[in-house]
Chains A and B, each alone.
Chain A
Amino acid sequence: MNLLRVRNLRTEFNTDQGRLKAVQGISFDLAEGEVLGVVGESGSGKSVAAASIMRMVPQPPGRVTADELLFDKTPLLDISEAEARDIRGSKIAMVFQDPMRSLNPVLTIGHQLIEVLRRHQNMTKQAARRRSIELLEMVGIPLAERRMAAYPHQLSGGMRQRVMMAIAVSCHPRLLIADEATTALDVTIQAQIIELVKKLQHDLGTAVIWISHDLGVVAGMCDRVNVMYAGRIVETGKVDDVFDQPSHGYTLGLMSSTPRVDGTSADRLTPIEGMPPSLAEEIRLCPFLPRCRVAVPACSDVPPPTREIGSPDHRSACHADLRSHWRVPA
């Protein structure tokens, strides 16, 4: 049984520049306890897709439609705003890149944790306070009891992100959506937060959607990955399959432009030339075609069909045969 089922999700915005199609019909499933990575560059629609699932896209100017958007049997697009608010924070939690924007600067950390527990778990003030201290200890905040009285600005960026994690997991969500949650942090602090998320996922069985532009982080913590470009999922599969046998021109481009800290230093970076297309454009063919290094004649004729690569799990919408670029042969 899948925890989340998404079919043909579309999100559009009416703007001065016309109708921007931020998410253009994406479909995927997420199993209970699974960790799904979503990679793609700025404007690929990865954050908007997550916000659409969370019912956080203001309508208007946005418009979110889907053939199916089921979370644990609940049709997320058909429920009322009040019901959506109940699900957010209790069953689905979200952590963003900048914790300063999610935390209230004039309330103490303790106040904000207690508020969530009382709102969603009907706890008494004392019980909520005890649980808050436990949560802060669980996410590795030293002197948790004293930190309850701290204001967000008195904590470092890594500490604030831990507080966000504590708030996010306080109600045992079934799904945690992390949108570039470690992007603003230093690598040693990022490593601490990733360990924490892995532990929470392992101990509590929470499913995770991990949105990141960092292929390394996704390789290290996810089971599966969706590669997004211009509002579409262009490739999807188990992380091992996608990283070893990239099967879309964009995935390949992303990998060859990513610098690595290991390996031989001779490897030169191959950038993806040009820029992503405007979301206002109607694109019939492959959206990556103008920047693609491995395009074949068919790419200029017909839109790429989604095909299976090796296993039914691994799918890509690309005409080109990329087997000669694979680091693990088929």
Chain B
Amino acid sequence: MTAVADPILRVEDLSVHFAAQDRHGGTIKAVDGVTFEVPRGTTLGIVGESGCGKSTLGFTVLMLQKPTGGRVLLDGKDVGAMSAGAMRKLRRRMQIVFQDSMASLNPRMPIGDLIGEALDIHGLYRGAERPARIRQLLDQVGLASTFAQRFPHELSGGQAQRVAICRALAVGPELIVCDEPVSALDVSIQAQIVNLLRELQREIGLTYIFISHDLSIVRHISDRVAVMYLGKIVEHAPKEELYANPTHPYTKALLSAVPVPDPKIERERNRIILKGDLPNPAEPPSGCVFRTRCPIAIDDCARLPPPAKTVGPDHSAACIRV
């Protein structure tokens, strides 16, 4: 992959391996040798199906999960090698927003205090500045200042997600990992949140890692997209390139499986139906991990893990058949 200008984040050969907890033992390679860079002020979309390791990858970038191999560099500094104190300071710069925000809001605290708590932890905006800052933050995410007095149960799903984004913004981050932030919302509300995230990015130059199983939504928010399967990035390209020229057979199947809201197009589409389910991650197939479901696999695919190959401008795919 070509080096990008001014990457805020660089992930090098990152791996997270767990010992499998069942009687067969073995190792689950949740993330396995992942490398990418994210230019400042842009959005990297990470797509893949349940169990592909996309959430573990997001957690590990923030060091909420310790990697078993590789490095995470924020502005060139190795995040994993930092002292606890330095790490604490760094948390201000990297935040996360989850799918089920309601679950991360203490039901007994009013919204104003929930946002204020984030400020307190980092010793920001003390005293008289505090209420003004909370009002400003609420305004930034499109909530009236009266929301400061409300409690989480009074919020709709979309409003809870705005509060979660508000809490992440409170400490002035540069990078936000968004883990399925709109997946639980109705489409009309999804669009509100996606547009909010894009506006915030334009205004304050935020960088996002946007993790989702939904290829349509990822297409709307990302600048670059990485496709994951069983712990590995199988294809990585600028958004337009990936959606116009998908190369890896998994990306092709994934894109062809996404329904399009147009009956005529749907009738004429040639859908690639993959066989079976994801293999047991404790016993991944040898060679290419996708080969057991791949429509174009050959004997050679079982021999070695395929290296990432350059298949177009700034576009790589890990497949020996391309």
A87 at the interface (CB under 8 A from B): no
A192, A216, A253, A272: which contacts B273 (Cβ < 8 A)?
Answer: A192
**A231 smallest CB distance to B (angstroms):** 16
**A163 smallest CB distance to B (angstroms):** 13
Residues on A with C-beta less than 8 A from B216 are 216, 258-261
B187 touching A257 by the CB < 8 A rule? Answer: yes
**B50 smallest CB distance to A (angstroms):** 6
B260 at the interface (CB under 8 A from A): yes
A158 touching B257 by the CB < 8 A rule? Answer: no
A186 at the interface (CB under 8 A from B): yes
A255, A259, A273: which contacts B192 (Cβ < 8 A)?
Answer: A273
A186-B49, A275-B158 as given contacts; A220 in contact with B258, CB under 8 Å? no
B266 touching A220 by the CB < 8 A rule? Answer: yes
B265 touching A41 by the CB < 8 A rule? Answer: no
B259 touching A217 by the CB < 8 A rule? Answer: yes
A188-B274, A240-B263, A269-B195 as given contacts; A259 in contact with B188, CB under 8 Å? no
A261 touching B195 by the CB < 8 A rule? Answer: no
**B46 smallest CB distance to A (angstroms):** 15
* Interface SS of chain B: helix
**B122 smallest CB distance to A (angstroms):** 32
**A267 smallest CB distance to B (angstroms):** 8
B191 touching A271 by the CB < 8 A rule? Answer: yes
**A202 smallest CB distance to B (angstroms):** 14
B188 touching A189 by the CB < 8 A rule? Answer: no
B215 at the interface (CB under 8 A from A): yes
Find residues 145-172 in chain B having any chain A CB closer than 8 Å to their own CB.
156, 158
A189-B277, A260-B260 as given contacts; A271 in contact with B219, CB under 8 Å? no
CA distance A269 to B199 in the complex (A): 13
Write the chain A residue with the least CB distance to B216.
A259
CA distance A239 to B187 in the complex (A): 19
CA distance A219 to B265 in the complex (A): 9
CA distance A41 to B157 in the complex (A): 12
B257 touching A275 by the CB < 8 A rule? Answer: no
**B85 smallest CB distance to A (angstroms):** 41
Residues on B with C-beta less than 8 A from A151 are none
A243 at the interface (CB under 8 A from B): yes
A187-B49, A216-B260, A219-B260 as given contacts; A265 in contact with B240, CB under 8 Å? yes
B277 touching A158 by the CB < 8 A rule? Answer: yes
B186 touching A42 by the CB < 8 A rule? Answer: yes
B261 touching A219 by the CB < 8 A rule? Answer: yes
**A179 smallest CB distance to B (angstroms):** 16
CA distance A125 to B211 in the complex (A): 49
A195 touching B273 by the CB < 8 A rule? Answer: yes
A156-B277, A159-B277, A187-B254 as given contacts; A214 in contact with B259, CB under 8 Å? yes
B194 at the interface (CB under 8 A from A): yes
A41 touching B191 by the CB < 8 A rule? Answer: no
B50, B191, B255, B276: which contacts A142 (Cβ < 8 A)?
Answer: B276
B271 at the interface (CB under 8 A from A): yes
B3 at the interface (CB under 8 A from A): no
Residues on A with C-beta less than 8 A from B256 are 191
CA distance A270 to B191 in the complex (A): 7
Write the chain A residue with the least CB distance to B190.
A257
Residues on A with C-beta less than 8 A from B308 are none
B220 at the interface (CB under 8 A from A): yes
B243 at the interface (CB under 8 A from A): yes
Residues on B with C-beta less than 8 A from A259 are 190-191, 194, 214, 216-217, 219-220
Find residues 221-262 in chain B having any chain A CB closer than 8 Å to their own CB.
239-240, 243, 253-262
A232 at the interface (CB under 8 A from B): no
A215 at the interface (CB under 8 A from B): yes
B194, B253, B259: which contacts A188 (Cβ < 8 A)?
Answer: B253
A213 touching B186 by the CB < 8 A rule? Answer: yes
A254 at the interface (CB under 8 A from B): yes
Residues on B with C-beta less than 8 A from A78 are none
B156 touching A275 by the CB < 8 A rule? Answer: yes
Residues on A with C-beta less than 8 A from B255 are 261
A190, A269, A270: which contacts B257 (Cβ < 8 A)?
Answer: A190
A262 touching B265 by the CB < 8 A rule? Answer: yes
A191 touching B271 by the CB < 8 A rule? Answer: yes
A186-B213, A217-B259 as given contacts; A41 in contact with B188, CB under 8 Å? yes
**A204 smallest CB distance to B (angstroms):** 20
B189 touching A271 by the CB < 8 A rule? Answer: yes
CA distance A254 to B188 in the complex (A): 6
Residues on A with C-beta less than 8 A from B108 are none
Write the chain B residue with the least CB distance to A242.
B263
**A269 smallest CB distance to B (angstroms):** 4
Find residues 16-63 in chain B having any chain A CB closer than 8 Å to their own CB.
49-50
CA distance A253 to B186 in the complex (A): 12
CA distance A159 to B278 in the complex (A): 11
**A95 smallest CB distance to B (angstroms):** 18
B258 touching A216 by the CB < 8 A rule? Answer: yes
B264 at the interface (CB under 8 A from A): yes
Write the chain A residue with the least CB distance to B215.
A261
**B219 smallest CB distance to A (angstroms):** 6
Give chain A's interface residues, CB within 8 Å of chain B: 41-42, 142, 156-159, 186-192, 195, 213-220, 239-240, 243-244, 253-255, 257-262, 265, 268-273, 275
Give chain B's interface residues, CB within 8 Å of chain A: 49-50, 156, 158, 186-192, 194-195, 213-217, 219-220, 239-240, 243, 253-267, 269, 271, 273-274, 276-278
Cβ-closest 5 pairs across A and B? A216-B259, A271-B191, A272-B188, A220-B266, A186-B49
A sample of 19 inter-chain contacts (CB < 8 A) reads: A142-B276, A187-B215, A188-B49, A195-B271, A195-B273, A214-B259, A219-B265, A243-B263, A254-B188, A255-B261, A260-B260, A261-B260, A262-B260, A262-B265, A265-B219, A265-B243, A271-B188, A271-B195, A273-B192
